[in-house]
Structure 1
Amino acid sequence: MANVTIDNVIKSYGATQVMHGVSVDIEDGEFVVLVGPSGCGKSTLLRMLAGLEEISDGTISIGDRVVNDVLPKERDIAMVFQSYALYPHKTVYDNISFPLLMAKRSKAEIEEKVANAAEILDLTKYLRRYPKELSGGQRQRVAMGRAIVRDPQVFLFDEPLSNLDAKLRVTMRIEIKELHQRLGTTIVYVTHDQVEAMTMADKIVVMRDGQVEQIGSPLDLYDNPVNTFVAGFIGSPSMNFVHGKIASDSGTRRFVSDSGLTLPLPQTTAEDGQEVTYGVRPEFVQVGDGGVEMEVVAVEPTGSETQIFARSGKDLIDALVKDRINARPGSKLGFVINPDDVHLFDRKTGQHI
């Protein structure tokens, strides 16, 4: 195991700079997820950590060693790819043992390490099968087994669950988390799926356009987003945003949207007349008497929850409630928002106020 330090890393392709001074500290044994939309630079950063991409400037250290100029095979890392990257003509045993064979380890050591990895991943009874005889989840476990036998200081996962169906992704999330708890090895995991990030990570790094927007624990990012990008990216369903300004009426301060929708305000340093973005998560919007009346435009029941979309002028609010609401498009409902659950952002900069 080892800590990883990414210090002011820059990546350029010719005159085009795609990574802009990224810095991340990863503790020994920590499970860190790099998350963000396509093109944000998360996979590029992972590939630079693996040594598959050169660094234009800055340093990457694994343990106490700067690895900028160290070959991938000498970095003591193991990588699991989205595509599994298995040898179709080799058995599960041969695929898992391949890195040990290349390292010229003894037959006894190879057998011991493969048996141990197979037991951890529940692959023992599949060791004589070929990849074509396995399901997608089993193939991904073989790829993980090939990484485990190397006993690396750091595991790198590059969107390993993207090719799996929704139910299997949930199962594999649990298996990877259990694997981390069992081995205690440092893991750097890339995904575009914020649900994966929230459920698996000790620490999340949210990226956009080659820069780090925020670093923190899953609940810290959920509760305290630094800007509208993080607030909208973390959490499912996404946070509601309404544009407007702060207004006072008979000494009572309110938020008034561009369409005239009036909503309650939290304690804030924002001044009267200041243009802001009002943010509230759907799960904190309640349906009931005494709330702002809005017209229902869509209802999506899922069994345990009901998602209700309602509109007032141009403003759309999404509410996620536990109750089974008997509402129809075109009907009117009252939506109650607790001011303590509201986030305010500067409308121009997007930064949290």
Structure 2
Amino acid sequence: MSSVTIRNAGKKYGALAVLHDIDFEIRDQEFVVLVGPSGCGKSTLLRMIAGLESISSGEVLIGDRVINNVPPKDRDIAMVFQNYALYPHMSVFDNMSFSLRLRRLPKEEIDKKVREAADILNLDKYLERSPRQLSGGQRQRVAMGRALVRDAEVFLFDEPLSNLDAKLRVVMRTEIKALHQRLRTTSVYVTHDQIEAMTMADRIVVMNAGRIEQIGTPLELYDTPANLFVADFIGSPSMNFIPGRLHQENGQTHVVCDDGTRIAVPSPDGAADGQQVVLGIRPEHLQVSDGADGYEARVDVIEPTGPNIQIYAEMAGVPICSVLSDRRELRPGERVRMSFQPENTHLFDAESGRRI
């Protein structure tokens, strides 16, 4: 097992640059998730690590070995794809053992490795079945088992759960995380689903337009997003954003919203009076007030989810979302007051998008 180091890596297709100076390290035994919207370059980066895409600039290392020009078969990596890529005419056993048979390992060793992997993945009852006799989740386990038997230094996952239904995705992401905790193989996982990223990763790399926006643990990204993009992308429902300008007077700081609403916030370091800002509030920190405190809002839509109620409303002239844990009776069109603690707010510079 080894670390994976990306040093100022770039990728171009002719004159079109799709990755720009990507630079970070995936530590030995770490589970790192690359996340971002479609087209941000996360799958291209994964394929560069795998050797399926050439590297236009910079270096990729596994351990201390530069692998820019090393063929994929010699990189000691195992990859699980979005489509299971199983041979339909082969049994589960033959699919899982295929790479070992190509390497001409002894029959007894192949049998041992496949059965050990099947036991880990709860596939021991299905080794004689064909892929068409399996569910989607079982097929994905076979694809994982095919990677597992190789004893690779690095596992690469390219959106492996995107073809599964919502309930099965939850089950499979738990199984993949449990598998990593058991094997401790260095793993790189690509997804556009930020919930997958939050629940599975040791660290998350947030990408946008071929660049890294922020790297950190799931809670670091959630609690202290570096910019508006990360704040909006991480979290479901997304953070609420209210534009305005800073007003500082008598030691007090307010954000004066476009409709004139004044919202008290902690005094930020290095911010200027009159600076255009964006105020961010997580939906769970925005609550319906029982008293006269808070800010007036008009309820537009109510969405019960079971454990919570999501309230979509208009406050300070902009649409906002509030997640309530109590089951209070509200109606569309009703006027309420929304309150939150100033310490739960986030401030971003309106021009650069950077956190203040």
Q: Tell me if both proteins adopt one fold, taking TM over 0.5 as the criterion.
A: yes
Query: What's the counterpart of residue 304 of structure 2?
Result: 301
Distance (whole Å) between structure 1 residues aligned to residue 258 and residue 162 of structure 2: 40
Distance (whole Å) between structure 2 residues aligned to residue 156 and residue 250 of structure 1: 55
Query: What's the counterpart of residue 72 of structure 1?
Result: 72
Q: CA deviation at 1:223?
A: 0.9
Q: CA deviation at 1:213?
A: 0.5
CA contact (8 A) 1:264 1:338 kept: no
The 3-state SS of whatever aligns with 1:126 is: coil
Distance (whole Å) between structure 2 residues aligned to residue 202 and residue 210 of structure 1: 22
Distance (whole Å) between structure 2 residues aligned to residue 159 and residue 250 of structure 1: 53
Query: What's the counterpart of residue 234 of structure 1?
Result: 234
Query: What's the counterpart of residue 277 of structure 1?
Result: 278
Distance (whole Å) between structure 2 residues aligned to residue 216 and residue 179 of structure 1: 22
CA contact (8 A) 2:76 2:154 kept: yes
Q: CA deviation at 1:249?
A: 6.1
1:203-242 residue pairs with structure 2 within 5 A?
A: 203-242=203-242
Query: What's the counterpart of residue 86 of structure 2?
Result: 86
Mark the runs of 5 or more structure 2 residues left unpaired by the alignment.
none
Deviations 1:2-61, CA, capped at 9 Å, x for gaps:
000000001000111111000120100000000000000000000000000000010000
Query: What's the counterpart of residue 328 of structure 1?
Result: 331
1:51-200 residue pairs with structure 2 within 5 A?
A: 51-200=51-200
Q: CA deviation at 1:256?
A: 1.4
Q: CA deviation at 1:250?
A: 6.5
Q: CA deviation at 1:185?
A: 0.3
Q: CA deviation at 1:204?
A: 0.4
Distance (whole Å) between structure 2 residues aligned to residue 253 and residue 221 of structure 1: 25
TM-score (norm 1): 0.98
Q: CA deviation at 1:247?
A: 2.1
Matching of residue 312 in structure 1 with residue 315 in structure 2: yes
Distance (whole Å) between structure 2 residues aligned to residue 323 and residue 7 of structure 1: 49
Distance (whole Å) between structure 2 residues aligned to residue 146 and residue 27 of structure 1: 24
Deviations 1:262-290, CA, capped at 9 Å, x for gaps:
22212313222111000010011111121
Distance (whole Å) between structure 1 residues aligned to residue 212 and residue 249 of structure 2: 40
Over the residues paired in the alignment, what is the CA RMSD in angstroms? Answer: 1.0
Q: Given residue 276 of structure 2, which amino acid in structure 1 is its aligned partner? A: E
Runs of 4 or more consecutive aligned structure 1 residues displaced over 3 Å after TM superposition: 248-252
Query: What's the counterpart of residue 287 of structure 2?
Result: 286
Query: What's the counterpart of residue 340 of structure 2?
Result: 337
Q: CA deviation at 1:339?
A: 0.6
1:236-255 residue pairs with structure 2 within 5 A?
A: 236-248=236-248, 252-255=252-255
Distance (whole Å) between structure 1 residues aligned to residue 162 and residue 206 of structure 2: 18
Deviations 1:166-203, CA, capped at 9 Å, x for gaps:
10000001100010011110000000000000000001
Distance (whole Å) between structure 1 residues aligned to residue 68 and residue 249 of structure 2: 60
